[in-house]
Chain A
Amino acid sequence: MFKRLTCFFLVGFFVFSLLPAPLRAFEPSPEDRTLLNKIEKDTLQYFTRFSDKITGLTKDSSRAGSPSSVAATGFALAAYAIGGSRGWIAPDYAYNRILTTLQTLRHKAAHEKGVFYHFLDARTGKRVWGSEASSIDTALAVAGALLAARYYPGTEIEKLAREIYERVDWKWMMNNSDFICMGWTPESKFLPYYWDSYNELMLLVALAVGSPTFPVPPSAWERWLRPEGDYNSHKIIFASTGALFTYQFSHAYIDFRDLNDRGINFFENSREATLGNREYSMSFSGKYKGYSESSWGLSSSVGPGGYKAYGGKPGGGLQDGTIAPYATLSSIVFTPELSTQAARFFYDRYQKELYGNFGFKDAFNLDKGWWANEYLGIDQGITLLMLENYLNGESVWKKFMGLPAIKRWVELTGLAKQPSSITKN
């Protein structure tokens, strides 16, 4: 009996030790949790500081002269709702900021059949820089609006958010094709680019399929390519750039842990992609002193040579020693231990150069002695939402997954609700 029990425990211990580390429950130390909360709270300040006081439209970047971005504005709506619920900003302030912003989006912001132009003048809401009516940026704005509506049910906020969502003609954006077009301009009409392969498109297609007014057919979900690749034994449905943000944006709002897409679990996929991305940058640690076990995160960000789509393999695999801390932090739901360790490392080691009033700045490159002196709205937004999911009981996921549109998308696309073995935080 004793031998059997010993064998049982030994086998059990062996099997347990074989499990990948991130699958095990990880609980950050009280100090780390305090730090993560501080980062989330400081990151929120980006949206209060860089949103127009009258229109509520949020600047694309903290850089002087930056226009407002409709995607960043969407993140701002989510951020205010989260900040208000957490008591970091006054409830009235949060409510009024959201209301003002939604009123601007509903009545003032330039759009084409409900699809917002990517960049707007923060004061007037007019299209600037010849930007395109952008489907993905509209989706990010709508997602933020719908999430905020969930925090304020039965209010004017919910009504405006619904009107903004229902106004978007997603079907028109398909341009009679199988996929949703990336954008449209009055000068060139539809852009020659479509959301036809895996990347941050999932949130967009989910909202388009679930639309109560102008839905796209469920086939628009089924048909986009799911290219398979592998890196260091990580099998990944990959995005062309390999940038971490492509594996994060949809996951900020949608809880993919229990959704089975014909055998693919996209939460697991993002976890594998994150681990692969980290290992890819570590493979260059001999070449770039910035890359190490605790210092990783290849994603689209500003860099010494401008904004670039840094990323891992499979995918573009562009790297030059630049690290985007936002991407590391935003992986926290996939790799909590590794992301927390990296956050602590970045904060303790580079606080003076890299951390400011609005959280982590966008990126740095040790080899070139370069530190970003700006924050990007969408990068701050994804950081805040992912931290909120991780630190505050998956609150964003829970609220967003309760939306009728998301339920409709799950139902219409046959995404089987399949309880996974993924540890819930």
Chain B
Amino acid sequence: MSQNRRKHFFINKPLQLRFMLAVILPLFLINLVALAGLYFGIWSKILETFSNEQTLNDLVTASRMIEYEQARHPIASQDFSSLSFFRQTEKLGQHQREVFKGILDETNRSLFWKFSLLLFFLAWGTIFISHKIAGPLFRFSKAFNEVEKGDYRSRVTLRKLDEGHPVAQEFNEAMEKTDHLFSDLKVLAQEKDAPQAVAKIKEKLSTIQTSANV
């Protein structure tokens, strides 16, 4: 367990920092826009509602209606609704509840669309960013498969904005060396002078380390 513990959070600092920035910056910007929209949207709606004379009168009338009800008979139990999450609404009457439920439902609807839009942008952003990592991983995987099948001509070519260019370069260099080695061995294996060819092959193979080393 302790062997697998990470000793360093930053393995590839420039890459991780770039990745962090790539995730955080769009999220921050999207949230900033959404929150500003919600903040000003909700408060302007509330202020507009309370500065509207008709609404004000309606609120007072709604309040009065329930006071009449309460003066005449106790309030019946209420069905579950968006107001049920707020204990404070226990003090409201039927009509008051209806008015505030209307306001709350409208706010919730507005929030729902804004959050849906936010989720869409987040999902799109995530796909865009993850593609820069998932793409190289796919190409590496494909290259390894080709090597496994014996094709040492395989190279990894990444797009300009993909992550992992240094690794791809090192991989390609390693593959090129291996390709040359096997190419040389193949050419030597075709020489007519067998003893000389074997000596050359042995010389070539002595430069590489394998499990067969004794």
Which residue numbers of A lie inside 8 Å of B, CB to CB? 61, 63-67, 119, 129-131, 182, 191-193, 241, 243, 300, 306-309
Q: How many A-B residue pairs have CB under 8 A?
A: 47
A192 to B94 CA separation, bound complex (whole angstroms): 15
**Further pairs besides A65-B60, A192-B76: 17, Cβ < 8 Å:** A63-B57, A63-B60, A63-B61, A64-B53, A65-B56, A65-B58, A129-B61, A129-B95, A130-B95, A130-B98, A131-B65, A191-B73, A306-B63, A306-B67, A307-B67, A309-B70, A309-B72
Check if B62 is an interface residue, CB within 8 A of chain A. Answer: yes
**Interface membership of B43, Cβ < 8 A:** no
CB contact between B68 and one of A191, A192, A307 (< 8 Å): that residue: A307
Whether, in the assembled complex, B71 has its beta carbon less than 8 Å from a beta carbon of chain A, the answer is: yes
Task: Tell me whether chain A's interface is mostly helix, strand or loop, or mixed.
Answer: loop
Residue A182 contacts which of B57, B60, B64, B72 (CB distance < 8 angstroms)? B72
Known contacts A129-B95, A192-B76: A309-B71 contact under CB 8 Å = yes
Rounded to whole Å, the gap between the CB of A341 and the closest CB of chain B is 28
Of B65, B71, B98, the contact of A308 (CB 8 Å cutoff): B71
Nearest B-chain residue to A69, judged by Cβ: B68
**Is A307's CB under 8 angstroms from B58's CB?**
no
Report which of B57, B65, B68 forms a contact with A64, defined as CB distance below 8 A: B57
B54 at interface (Cβ–Cβ under 8 A)? yes
Cβ distance B50 to chain A, nearest Cβ, rounded Å: 14
Minimum distance in angstroms from A246 CB to a CB of chain B: 11
Which B residues touch A309, using CB under 8 A?
70-72
CA distance A200 to B53 in the complex (A): 35
3 cross-chain pairs, A with B, having the tightest CB-CB distances, nearest first: A65-B57, A307-B67, A309-B71
Q: Say yes or no: A61 contacts B64, CB within 8 Å.
A: yes
B95 contacts which chain A residues (CB < 8 A)?
129-130
In the complex, what residues of B have CB within 8 A of residue A64's CB?
53, 57
Interface residues on B, range: 20 to 34
Give Cα distance in the complex from A300 to B69, angstroms: 12
Interface positions of B from 92 to 106, Cβ below 8 Å from A: 94-95, 98
Q: With a 10 A CB-CB cut-off, give which of A66, A243, A306, A309 has the most chain B CB atoms.
A: A306
Chain B residues at the A interface, C-beta cutoff of 8 Å: 53-54, 56-58, 60-65, 67-68, 70-73, 76, 94-95, 98
Interface centre among B58, B64, B65, B98 (most CB of A within 10 A): B64
CB-defined contacts of B73 to chain A, threshold 8 Å: 182, 191, 193
A197-B94 Cα distance, complex, nearest whole Å = 24
- Give chain A nearest CB distance to B28 CB in angstroms: 45
Given known pairs A130-B95, A192-B76, the reply for A241 and B61 (CB within 8 Å) is no
Are the C-beta atoms of A65 and B67 separated by less than 8 Å?
Answer: no
User: Do residues A65 and B61 form an inter-chain contact, with CB atoms below 8 A?
Assistant: yes
A64–B98 Cα distance when bound, in Å, is 20
Tell me the complex Cα distance, A182–B53, Å: 33
> Which A residues touch B71, using CB under 8 A?
241, 243, 300, 307-309
Q: How far is the CB of B204 from chain A (nearest CB, A)?
A: 93
Shortest Cβ gap from B111 to chain A (Å): 27
Residues from chain B with a CB closer than 8 A to the CB of A300 are 71
Within the assembled complex, what's the spacing in Å between the Cα atoms of A310 and B207? Answer: 105
Interchain CA distance A174-B56 in the complex, whole Å: 38
Q: Flag if A129 contacts B62 (CB, 8 Å).
A: yes
A-chain residues with CB within 8 Å of residue B98 when the two chains form the complex: 130
Closest chain-A Cβ to B121's Cβ sits at a distance in Å of 41
Which residue from chain A places its CB closest to the CB of B94 in the assembled complex? A130
**B57 and A306 form a contact (CB under 8 A):** no
Docked Cα-Cα span, A243 to B53, in Å, equals 33
CA distance A67 to B95 in the complex (A): 14
A306–B64 CA distance with the chains assembled, in angstroms = 7
> Which of B60, B61, B94 has the most A CB atoms < 10 Å from its CB?
B61
Known contacts A182-B73, A309-B71; is A66 also within 8 Å of B63 by CB? no
**B72 contacts which chain A residues (CB < 8 A)?**
182, 193, 309
Q: Which residues of A have CB within 8 Å of B68?
A: 307
List the B side residues contacting A192 at CB < 8 Å. 76
Closest to B98 in A: A130
Min C-beta distance of B195 to chain A, whole Å: 105
Chain B proximity of A173: nearest CB distance (Å): 16
Q: In the complex, A64 Cα to B60 Cα: how many Å?
A: 9
- CA of A193 to CA of B71 in the docked complex: distance in angstroms? 13
State how many angstroms separate the Cβ of A377 from the closest Cβ of chain B.
12
Question: Are A67 and B67 closer than 8 Å at their CB atoms?
Answer: no
- 6 A-B contacts (beta carbon < 8 Å): A63-B61, A64-B53, A64-B57, A192-B76, A241-B71, A307-B71
CA distance A266 to B153 in the complex (A): 112
Q: A129-B95, A182-B73, A192-B76 are in contact. Are A66 and B61 (CB under 8 A)?
A: yes
Kindly list chain A residues whose C-beta atoms are within 8 Å of the C-beta of B62: 129
A296 to chain B, nearest CB (A): 20
CB distance from B58 to the nearest CB of A (A): 6
- State in angstroms the CA–CA spacing of A182 and B56 once bound together: 29
Q: Are A129 and B63 in contact (CB under 8 A)?
A: no
Q: Which residues of B contact A182 (CB under 8 A)?
A: 72-73
**Quick one: closest A residue to B74, CB to CB?**
A193
Shortest B2–chain A CB gap in Å is 67
